[in-house]
């Protein structure tokens, strides 16, 4: 991987709007959350990135190389440094990147000469020289020597023939690889030729007439239809654009020529880039909307329905991060193929950004047909995918809008399908949801919630409260669970379940979870410094947080940084988190256990744990979900509680009951032999100050949970 920063360069800010618009339409936007790492396929020269917001840090062999801020350019297009080096990039804050692939870079060079000239100017500015020095190969400084190498690299990357011409004698100063190959000359032979030797229909008078306006207006171009003659005498037609590189006594010109045959091929490639996804080769959103417009006009004539379905792969990001981006791309291709196979020829499958696909079902007579197709799509995606001998299970969901009921134009139909998708994500995997007008309101609420959560992180609006856990045999305080609370400056206390679900959906749960871990460690350290007896503090983990490759290292760093005994920190994970990727989960748990942390399975009995894996997991306790405790009088619930306690004790694990609210519940739990319990019957959730007072005196002012 070659990730190189272009320091002090605001290259893309200086480009014309036309180039920026073309680039933004072709390129993919990537959003990295704090702590996320950017991975690529490792092929040199395949990617370049522009940071549109946030901060990144480049690491080489875990050593920080440099910081990258908004507006800066870096990537595998090793423009500033030709030597490849292995490096990774990690987001310090939420960072938006624009990814530019090699074909997209080439298309810009081919379609807009100003892009190439901007690059050349940038390089000359960096060397504190001028384009003349670089083009002529003068080596007055080490920096200029390096930049000259990079100038040639950029020239050679161009899909156009490029010549640099000295107007004093009309000799060629340099030509790029494509020009030399097409004309059949070696480098030393080429520099002995003049412009008129190669372009047979060019004369000194014609060149003077072309170049005179360029000297008066340095930003303009002159175009000429040339006839090129190769060394072997054969000829070909081209379109040549001349540009004044530097105004001097003997001005230097650059000529960019396109073989007209090659231009047709390039236009086809540009059309492919503009309308097709480079990973899956499926139509992109622009082409899909165009096809949807055609389908609408046909549906009007035949009074048919059109369904717009957005299929989202819920767990794609975790698959891509936990395996390899190359595997993730292969998975997207296979998903696209399955979708194409299960639809009709007249239907369209397109890829949107990230993990979403857009399907257009044309000419349906009734909604029942669309429902059957949605069920077929879900069934098609359900079997495992095998990528590089790895079995991968995906979780998908769908949002559906119908023409003409849910919109009369492509934009409205896509927007409303997206709103339906938001609602479908709250259901089980492989589900689908038709659009309902209320979804737009709900979608807007989700956007508002995401914005508020980001501000809450920045403004430190979250608080960490604590609920004590008690030993049921002795009645003594045995530890506590940390619980996040959020007091919005305008809305007041926000229900925890509400904002945690929103944070899970947009992966803000990762930075929020890191804040909880940091705050819990700080609080333990503070209580120790006050001379209070150290107690175990439990922290709840999300799947996104736990599945990070470097999660164990992050936790160890926090604990060591505060100088804490690892046994004072307990990590709580749900059965679902552990079973989604059980082999990796066991490995990660063992690392944490070896470090000395306590580990527990939260809400045990509500998921689908495999006893085969449970016996291999280095955990210390099972938490009995409060739904069983609240209705313990039901025969099934009491049987489950007794079975969990028996299982835990046979495995030499501790049991903790949640949500104890009555004396009857407490008595039953004591009867079954449950070890610890928490709930408002024993103590409500306490603020940090109240928890401190409780540790000091055994009593506190209380807060209802």
CATH number of 280-436: 3.30.70.270
**Residue 662 class from Cβ within 10 Å (0-12 exposed, 13-18 middle, 19+ buried)?**
middle
Q: If you compute the radius of gyration of the chain from its CA atoms, what whole number of angstroms results?
A: 32
**Residue 518 class from Cβ within 10 Å (0-12 exposed, 13-18 middle, 19+ buried)?**
middle
Query: 67 near 55, Cβ under 8 Å?
Result: yes
- For 575, 603, 638, the CA distances from 608, given in Å and listed in that order, are 7, 11, 19
Which tokens sit at 235? 């000829």
CA dist., res. 354 & res. 343, Å (int): 22
Strands 252-259 and 235-246: antiparallel
Which tokens sit at 228? 């090129």
SS (H, E, C) 643-705: HHHHHHHHCCCEEEECCCCCHHHHHHHHHHCCCEECECCCECCECHHHHHHHHHHCCCCCCCC
Q: Which residues belong to CATH 3.30.70.270 in the chain?
A: 280-436
Helix axes 367-381 and 325-342, enclosed angle (nearest 10): 140
What integer best gives the mean pLDDT of the chain? Answer: 80
**pLDDT band at 604; cut points 50, 70, 90:** confident
Query: 132 near 33, Cβ under 8 Å?
Result: no
Give the pLDDT score at 131: 45
Q: Which residues belong to CATH 3.20.20.450 in the chain?
A: 448-697
**pLDDT band at 78; cut points 50, 70, 90:** very low
Q: Is the pLDDT of residue 303 over 80?
A: no
Those residues whose C-beta lies under 8 Å from the C-beta of residue 218, and which sit 6 or more positions away, are 244, 247
**pLDDT band at 113; cut points 50, 70, 90:** low
Query: 605 near 635, Cβ under 8 Å?
Result: no
Q: Which residues belong to CATH 3.30.450.20 in the chain?
A: 125-275
CA dist., res. 183 & res. 265, Å (int): 19
Cα angle at 325 between 593 and 33, to 5 degrees? Answer: 65
SS (H, E, C) 238-255: EEEEEEEEECCCCCEEEE
Q: What is the mean pLDDT of residues 667-673?
A: 94
DSSP conformation letters of 107-174: HHHHH-HHHHHHHHHHHHHHTTS-HHHHHHT--SSHHHHHHHHHHHHHHHH-SSEEEEEETTTTEEEE
Instruction: End-to-end CA distance of the chain: give it in Å, rounded.
Output: 50
Give the pLDDT score at 174: 81
Give the pLDDT score at 704: 41
Q: What is the mean pLDDT of residues 462-477?
A: 94
Query: 92 near 56, Cβ under 8 Å?
Result: yes
**pLDDT band at 246; cut points 50, 70, 90:** low
H/E stretch holding 567? none
Helix axes 509-529 and 551-561, enclosed angle (nearest 10): 20
Q: Is the pLDDT of residue 339 over 90?
A: yes
Q: Which residues belong to CATH 2.60.120.10 in the chain?
A: 1-111
CATH classification number, 1-111, choose in 2.30.30.140, 3.30.565.10, 3.40.50.300, 2.60.120.10? 2.60.120.10
User: Which among 79, 174, 85 has a CA at the least distance from the CA of 126?
Assistant: 79
Give the distance from CA 267 to its chain's centroid: 30
Of the ranges 122-126, 222-226, 307-311, 581-585, the best mean pLDDT one: 307-311
Which tokens sit at 133? 């020095």
Of residues 73 and 183, more confidence is placed in 183
Q: Is the pLDDT of residue 16 over 90?
A: no
Q: Is the pLDDT of residue 464 over 90?
A: yes
Residue 686: strand pairing partners = 466
Query: 621 near 656, Cβ under 8 Å?
Result: yes
CATH number of 448-697: 3.20.20.450
Query: 440 near 418, Cβ under 8 Å?
Result: no
CA dist., res. 76 & res. 49, Å (int): 8
**pLDDT band at 555; cut points 50, 70, 90:** very high
Give the distance from CA 313 to its chain's centroid: 14
Which tokens sit at 584? 């990796």
CA dist., res. 657 & res. 675, Å (int): 8
pLDDT in tens, 691-701: 999 998 877 55
- Nearest 10 degrees: Cα torsion 442, 445, 451, 457: -100
pLDDT in tens, 608-628: 555 666 777 889 999 998 889
Of the listed ranges 36-50, 83-97, 640-654, the one predicted with least confidence: 36-50
**Residue 166 class from Cβ within 10 Å (0-12 exposed, 13-18 middle, 19+ buried)?**
buried
Residue 258: strand pairing partners = 239
Q: Is the pLDDT of residue 564 over 60?
A: yes
**pLDDT band at 153; cut points 50, 70, 90:** low
Q: What is the mean pLDDT of residues 536-555?
A: 89
Q: What is the mean pLDDT of residues 393-418?
A: 89
Cα angle at 84 between 78 and 87, to 5 degrees? Answer: 100
Q: What is the mean pLDDT of residues 15-34?
A: 67
Of residues 510 and 253, more confidence is placed in 510
CA dist., res. 56 & res. 677, Å (int): 44
CATH domain 125-275 topology: Beta-Lactamase (3.30.450)
Give the pLDDT score at 488: 92
Query: 681 near 666, Cβ under 8 Å?
Result: yes
pTM: 0.49
CA dist., res. 150 & res. 144, Å (int): 10
Query: 703 near 686, Cβ under 8 Å?
Result: yes
């Amino acid at each position: 991987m070659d990730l190189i920063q272009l320091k002090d360069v605001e290259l893309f800010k200086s480009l014309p709007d036309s180039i920026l618009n073309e680039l933004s339409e072709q390129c993919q936007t990537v959003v990295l959350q704090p702590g996320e790492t950017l991975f690529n396929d490792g092929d040199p020269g395949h990617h370049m990135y522009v940071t549109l917001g946030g901060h990144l840090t480049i690491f080489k062999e875990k050593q920080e190389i440099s910081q990258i801020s908004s507006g800066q350019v870096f990537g595998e297009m090793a423009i500033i440094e030709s030597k490849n080096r292995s490096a990774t990039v990690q987001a310090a804050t939420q960072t938006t990147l624009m990814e530019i692939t090699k074909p997209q870079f080439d298309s810009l060079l081919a379609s807009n000469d100003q892009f190439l000239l901007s690059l050349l100017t940038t390089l000359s500015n960096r060397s504190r020289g001028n384009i003349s020095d670089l083009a002529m190969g003068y080596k007055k400084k080490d920096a200029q020597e390096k930049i000259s190498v990079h100038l040639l690299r950029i020239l050679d990357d161009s899909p156009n023939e490029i010549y640099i011409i000295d107007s004093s004698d009309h000799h060629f100063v340099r030509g790029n690889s494509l020009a030399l190959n097409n004309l059949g000359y070696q480098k030393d032979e080429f520099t002995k030729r003049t412009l008129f030797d190669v372009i047979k229909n060019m004369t000194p008078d014609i060149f003077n007439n072309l170049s005179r306006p360029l000297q008066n207006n340095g930003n303009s171009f002159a175009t000429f239809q040339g006839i090129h003659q190769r060394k072997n005498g054969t000829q070909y037609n081209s379109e040549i654009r001349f540009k004044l590189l530097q105004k001097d006594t003997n001005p230097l010109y650059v000529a960019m020529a396109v073989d007209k045959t090659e231009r047709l091929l390039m236009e086809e490639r540009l059309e492919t880039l503009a309308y097709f996804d480079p990973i899956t080769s499926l139509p992109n959103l622009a082409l899909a909307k165009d096809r949807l417009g055609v389908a609408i006009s046909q549906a009007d004539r035949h009074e048919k329905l059109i369904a717009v379905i957005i299929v989202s792969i819920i767990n794609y990001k975790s698959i891509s991060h936990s395996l390899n981006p190359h595997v993730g791309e292969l998975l997207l291709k296979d998903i696209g193929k399955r979708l194409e196979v299960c639809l009709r020829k007249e239907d369209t499958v397109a890829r949107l950004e990230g993990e979403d696909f857009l399907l257009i079902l044309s000419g349906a007579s009734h909604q029942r047909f669309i429902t059957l197709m949605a069920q077929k799509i879900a069934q098609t995606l359900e079997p495992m995918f095998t990528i590089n001998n790895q079995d991968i299970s995906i979780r998908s969901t769908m949002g559906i809008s119908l023409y003409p009921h849910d919109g009369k134009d492509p934009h409205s139909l896509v927007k409303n399908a997206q709103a339906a998708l938001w609602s479908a994500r709250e259901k089980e995997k492989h589900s689908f949801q038709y659009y309902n007008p209320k979804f737009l309101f709900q979608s807007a609420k989700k956007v508002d919630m995401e914005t508020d959560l980001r501000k809450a992180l920045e403004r430190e609006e979250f608080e960490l409260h604590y609920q004590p856990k008690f030993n049921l045999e002795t009645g003594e305080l045995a530890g506590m669970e940390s619980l996040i609370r959020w007091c919005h400056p305008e809305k007041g206390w926000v229900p925890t379940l509400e904002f945690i679900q929103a944070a899970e959906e947009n992966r803000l749960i990762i930075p929020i979870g890191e804040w909880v871990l940091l705050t819990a460690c700080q609080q333990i350290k503070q209580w120790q410094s006050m001379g209070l007896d150290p107690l175990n503090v439990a922290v709840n983990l999300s799947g996104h947080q736990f599945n990070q490759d470097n999660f164990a290292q992050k936790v160890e760093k926090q604990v060591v940084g505060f100088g804490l005994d690892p046994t004072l920190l307990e990590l709580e994970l749900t059965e679902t988190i552990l079973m989604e990727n059980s082999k990796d989960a066991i490995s990660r748990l063992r690392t944490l256990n070896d470090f000395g942390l306590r580990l527990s399975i939260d809400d045990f009995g509500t998921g689908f744990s495999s006893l085969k894996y449970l016996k291999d997991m280095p955990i210390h306790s099972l938490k009995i979900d409060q739904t069983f405790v609240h209705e313990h009088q039901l025969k099934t619930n009491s049987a489950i509680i007794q079975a969990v306690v028996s299982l835990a004790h046979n495995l030499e694990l501790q049991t903790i009951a949640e949500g104890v609210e009555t004396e009857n519940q407490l008595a039953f739990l004591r009867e079954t032999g449950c070890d610890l319990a928490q709930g408002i019957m024993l103590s409500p959730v306490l603020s940090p100050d109240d928890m401190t007072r409780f540790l000091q005196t055994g009593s506190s002012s209380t807060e209802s949970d």
